[in-house]
Structure 1
Amino acid sequence: MDQQEMKRTVEKIIGESAVGTMATVKQNKPHSRYMTFIRNDLKLITATSLETHKAEEIKANPYTHILLGYEGEGFGDQYVEYEGKAVIYSTADLKNELWNSYMEHWFHGPDDPNYILLEITPVRIRIMNKTGAEPKLLEF
């Protein structure tokens, strides 16, 4: 599998898998939670509150580890291990663009000062668990 084919595979997996686990570091230990992601090329974007632990953790250490794609079928069920660097965005344009009514569970609207976005840029992505294949590394 060449790099272009790996990129297409990664784009397919992360494009079809909106929910995954996101790990950050809290007091020198991993801290994971489920998050919903939107794909922008190979970057991931997720909404959160400025008042959450993950916002504090990203400010202290912007690196994160995300798992996307595993469907629970067992061996051969491809997924990606996504290592990235997160940046906090609170610009009105992007917040308005990504706002949806489901977010009303946590925020008062797109102008809520606690509503922020995390944009994660990949540092390393590995395609995992393809039947009969070793993990593949997408290079950057």
Structure 2
Amino acid sequence: MSQEELKQKVLNLLEEQKVGTLATVEQDKPHTRYMTFFHEGLTLYTPTSKETHKAEEIEKNPNVHILIGYSGEGFGDTYAEIAGTAALTDDRELIDRLWSDEMEKWFKGKEDPNLVILKIEPTSIRYMNEGSRTPAELSL
């Protein structure tokens, strides 16, 4: 498959699947949790509190790994492995764009001073589990 076809498959997957795992590094070991992801192109975003362990971990080591897309019974779903670098941002325009009332479970509204967005810029993306055509690595 061409790089353009592969990019479109990854973008479609990111549009369809919002929940994935985010792994950070804590004391030289992976620390993984489920997160909800939004995207603009291949850049990923996820809201978090600046008071969390993940915020501390990312400030010490911005390298992260995401798995997103596997939602079935364990056989055959396509998914993406995304390695990237993360940064915390309190960009109000970005928070306004990503805000959902569902986030009120964790935040006191979009003006909550602890609400920040993790912005993840991919350094590598592998599209997985589509038969003999994968794994396929997207050139970034």
Matches within 5 A, 1:1-140: 1-140=1-140
How many percent of aligned residue pairs carry the same amino acid?
Answer: 51
Give the TM-score, by structure 1 length.
0.95
Secondary structure in 2 matching 1:45: strand
1:132 & 1:73 partners in 2: Cα distance? Answer: 20
2:133 & 2:3 partners in 1: Cα distance? Answer: 15
- Deviation of 1:72 after TM superposition, in Å, equals 2.3
Q: RMSD in angstroms over aligned alpha carbons? A: 1.1
Please tell me the residue identity of whatever aligns with 1:82. Answer: I
Q: Which runs of 5+ in 1 are unaligned?
A: none
- Deviation of 1:89 after TM superposition, in Å, equals 0.7
Secondary structure in 2 matching 1:108: coil
1:46 & 1:107 partners in 2: Cα distance? Answer: 13
- Deviation of 1:85 after TM superposition, in Å, equals 0.9
- Deviation of 1:21 after TM superposition, in Å, equals 0.4
Structure 1 outlier segments of 4+, above 4 Å: none
2:136 & 2:33 partners in 1: Cα distance? Answer: 25
Greater mean deviation of Cα atoms: 40-49 or 71-80: 71-80
Please tell me the residue identity of whatever aligns with 2:100. Answer: N
Which whole-Å deviations, capped at 9, do the CAs of 1:52-87 have from their partners, x for residues lacking one? 011001101111100011122434311000111111
Aligned residues: 140
Secondary structure in 1 matching 2:6: helix
2:99 & 2:71 partners in 1: Cα distance? Answer: 27
